[in-house]
Homo-oligomer: A and B are copies of this chain.
Amino acid sequence: MCEAAAYILKPDGQEELFLSEVDVIEPDGDHLRLVSIFGEQKTIKASIHSLNLINHKVLLVEKTP
| Assembly CA distance A48 to B24 (angstroms) | 13
Q: How far is the CA of A37 from the CA of B51 in the complex (A)?
A: 13
Chain A interface residue number, banded:
20 to 34
For chain A, residues 1 to 51, give those with C-beta under 8 angstroms from any C-beta of chain B: 1-4, 22-27, 37, 47-51
When the two chains form their complex, are residues B25 and A50 in contact, meaning their CB atoms are under 8 A apart?
yes
* Cβ contacts under 8 Å, A50 to chain B: 24-27
8 Å CB contact of A48 from B4, B37, B51: B51
Q: Which residues does chain B contribute within 8 Å of A52, judged by CB atoms?
A: 23-24
Binding site for B on A (CB under 8 A): 1-4, 22-27, 37, 47-54, 56, 58
